[in-house]
Amino acid sequence: MPTYAYRPVDPRKSCDHCRQGFETIQRMSEPPLTQCPKCENSVSRILFPPAVVIKGSPIGETDRKIKDYEREGKWSHAAELADKEAEKTKREDLRVRALEDYKKAGYNFDKYDKKDDA
């Protein structure tokens, strides 16, 4: 059976049991409590956001290798690896990281952004 959390609607009228909130075990088929079992003050059920499950490991082998290159100051290696991985996975964060690492390696992309007036 699941555990549900409750808190008082008006904390000024609450007892020691419900003032800080309380938990109770209830069947899913039971209706939510509307009153504190001790002082009969109005209570409401606290809803928690659902748990988020991320498939795969949050830090992949490629991310780890990029970080190692950055730690060693091998900016062009890190940039190239991040750029290739961003192209393959369409990850925007890696594309931005690759551009930052290219700049740290001394590449100047500003000259390519300017449009010729001629």
The ranges assigned to domains in the chain are 3-45, 61-113
pLDDT exceeds cutoff 60 at 101: yes
What value does the mean pLDDT take over residues 89-107? 89
pTM as predicted: 0.45
Side-chain half-sphere CA neighbours of 17 within 13 A: 11
pLDDT the model gives residue 118 = 46
pLDDT the model gives residue 111 = 54
* pLDDT tens-digit series, residues 11-25: 898 999 999 899 988
* pLDDT tens-digit series, residues 35-81: 999 999 999 998 777 666 555 545 688 888 999 999 999 989 999 99
72-106 as b/e: b if 16+ CB within 10 A: eebbebbbbbbbebbeeeeeeebbebbbebbeeee
